[in-house]
Structure 1
Amino acid sequence: MPVTNSESDKSPWNKGKLVGQKAPLKPPEVWAIRVRLELANRRRDLALFNLAVDSKLRGCDLLRIRVSDVRTGGEIRRGAKILQSKTGNPVQFEVTKCTRNSIEAWCSFSKLQSHDWLFPSRKDRKRHLTTRQYARLVERWVGAIDLPRSSYATHSMRRTKATLIHRKTGNLRAVQLLLGHTKIDSTVRYLGVEVEDALALAESIEL
């Protein structure tokens, strides 16, 4: 049966692309991307990149953030709470100084108001960036520092800080809360924790 135009338009944006667990960024890679975005004076991309790393949000939730979600009385807050579209549950995250500065610079440059999307579409400010556009930006960011684009995607942004926190603390419950997972099993799978990792953590605890 032939596919109609309406059906073909509904094809997933990543159809035909390599899928699977995507790698998180390492701290030197995060800073390398930041430096490139700063040097290129790409205010929006820098604010989006920094907030993606800090918030650990899914792309769909990250792009639906309004200025009022992160700014109060002209000041960028040190933390925020967002309702997840997937679960309907709130998730909290910190907003580091580096991220606050980049968001403030972007809001000031774009003259964004409280009710505006934090990352509006350039064609229509009543709409926010799409997940497809976000995915293209991530590809551009990792490609700029010579990382293999097929190994990274938007979920790399979500996994970056969560993976680092887990490696430093071994606290799966904390990471579960930060990611907004309802089940710890989801966090284990998401981080790619193996049996060997779990045993190593257990052996490091003395009773």
Structure 2
Amino acid sequence: MAKRTSKPQAQPDPGSIALPATGDFQAEVARWLAHLKSERRLSPKTLEAYERDLRQCIGFLAEHWGKPVSLASFAGIEATDVRAFMASRRSHDVAGRSLMRALAGLRSFGRFLEREGKGKVGALSAIRAPKISKSLPKPLAVSAARHLTEAEIRAGEDRPPWIWARDAAVMALLYGSGLRISEALGLARRDIPEPGRGDVITVTGKGNKTRMVPVLQAVLDAVQDYIAQCPYELSPDKPVFVGARGGPLSPRIIQLTMERLRGALGLPDSATPHALRHSFATHLLSRGGDLRAIQELLGHASLSTTQIYTGIDAERLMDVYQSAHPRA
């Protein structure tokens, strides 16, 4: 007689797990998430993080209070309850930046409930945001950044030349135009100007916001060189950068490429694809670039985000002073 084997049970999708909360509360959570997606146009990753943070908070409060969370109980939340949740998360080694995001998400949900007439959650605004350590970005040296955009340094790899050209083109966009990796890989074929027909691209950044970004001729040449070698037909409305099998290129492929190049060029672990964006801003600033212009190029919503690069520049000036001044 054949032995019966039980099929492994599928793991539930985290987004489908019911909250330890009343039905009307769960309905408002669903409406809030829909509002963030359709009207606030938050990125999928931010939306996922906000939902996860709220679920963790509701799970904690249900256990903390010993009953499911309702709209009435959430509206009556006290500052001590919020602090207890934050302390619980910190005990699990959650960093200050993640705690700050969690608090921002809870406040967003509280404001949504207030606008919908479901109660005012006053305690959330009374909580001071957690302190976060400000770590300066780690840009690359100019020579290292340039090497990463050259296809020739990949010539020893056992991969087709068009892939060398592709990776070099992506790196060139990150360093030459300061794009995020998601922005570079999100470019469609029609977004790339034809030779002699422009030097500006339209980039879709965070929150689906678009901006115009100038592109150096050397960067356009690198992208056109890849397009000319690519063995796949690149449709106008499809991603211009494709993987080895012709599908959309994964950011992980570029990250792995950078890991290989770090070893070849003797670069530190901080040399990541995003470090090329940091290098773009830092090198512009060190050569007299206007901070507000750099803010526009990077697509930062706030100038304070861009101002972190002034800290790098000041730090470099002090290094030069300490090493060069005869009385230092």
Matched, 1:29 2:147: no
* Corresponding residue number in structure 2 for 1:59: 181
- Residues 66 and 117 in structure 1, CA contact (< 8 A), matched pair in contact too: yes
Matched, 1:78 2:199: yes
- Runs of 5+ consecutive residues of structure 2 not aligned to the other structure: 1-10, 15-134, 156-160, 319-328
Return the TM-score normalized by structure 1.
0.73
Following superposition of structure 1 onto structure 2, how do residues 127-142 of structure 1 map, counting pairs within 5 Å? Answer: 127-142=247-262
Deviations 1:25-57 (A, max 9, x none): 22211233344x225142111111111212211
CA distance in 1 between partners of 2:181 and 2:145 (Å): 18
Shift of 1:68: 0.7
Following superposition of structure 1 onto structure 2, how do residues 163-174 of structure 1 map, counting pairs within 5 Å? Answer: 163-169=282-288, 171-174=290-293
Q: How many residues align?
A: 179
* Corresponding residue number in structure 2 for 1:96: 216
Following superposition of structure 1 onto structure 2, how do residues 108-123 of structure 1 map, counting pairs within 5 Å? Answer: 108-110=228-230, 111-123=233-245
> Judging changes above 3 Å, is the alpha-carbon distance between structure 1 residues 48 and 195 closer, same or farther for their aligned structure 2 residues?
closer
CA distance in 1 between partners of 2:192 and 2:198 (Å): 6
Deviates more, 1:165-174 or 1:111-120: 111-120
CA distance in 1 between partners of 2:270 and 2:168 (Å): 21
> Judging changes above 3 Å, is the alpha-carbon distance between structure 1 residues 139 and 195 closer, same or farther for their aligned structure 2 residues?
closer
3-state SS of 2:207 partner: coil
CA distance in 1 between partners of 2:291 and 2:259 (Å): 29
- Runs of 5+ consecutive residues of structure 1 not aligned to the other structure: 8-19, 201-207
Following superposition of structure 1 onto structure 2, how do residues 3-14 of structure 1 map, counting pairs within 5 Å? Answer: none
CA distance in 2 between partners of 1:192 and 1:87 (Å): 26
Counterpart residue identity of residue 193, structure 1: G
- Residues 169 and 223 in structure 2, CA contact (< 8 A), matched pair in contact too: yes
- Residues 77 and 100 in structure 1, CA contact (< 8 A), matched pair in contact too: no
3-state SS of 2:186 partner: coil
CA distance in 2 between partners of 1:141 and 1:97 (Å): 24
* Corresponding residue number in structure 2 for 1:204: none
Identity of aligned residues (%): 23
Shift of 1:166: 0.8
> Judging changes above 3 Å, is the alpha-carbon distance between structure 1 residues 112 and 98 closer, same or farther for their aligned structure 2 residues?
same
* Corresponding residue number in structure 2 for 1:157: 276
> Judging changes above 3 Å, is the alpha-carbon distance between structure 1 residues 196 and 161 closer, same or farther for their aligned structure 2 residues?
closer
CA distance in 1 between partners of 2:295 and 2:282 (Å): 11
CA distance in 2 between partners of 1:171 and 1:88 (Å): 25
> Judging changes above 3 Å, is the alpha-carbon distance between structure 1 residues 49 and 92 closer, same or farther for their aligned structure 2 residues?
same
Return the TM-score normalized by structure 2.
0.48
Counterpart residue identity of residue 227, structure 2: C
Shift of 1:170: 5.3
CA distance in 2 between partners of 1:173 and 1:196 (Å): 17
* Corresponding residue number in structure 2 for 1:38: 152
CA distance in 2 between partners of 1:142 and 1:78 (Å): 30
* Corresponding residue number in structure 2 for 1:193: 311
- Residues 145 and 276 in structure 2, CA contact (< 8 A), matched pair in contact too: no
Deviations 1:160-182 (A, max 9, x none): 11111111115211111111111
Shift of 1:98: 1.4
> Judging changes above 3 Å, is the alpha-carbon distance between structure 1 residues 155 and 76 closer, same or farther for their aligned structure 2 residues?
farther
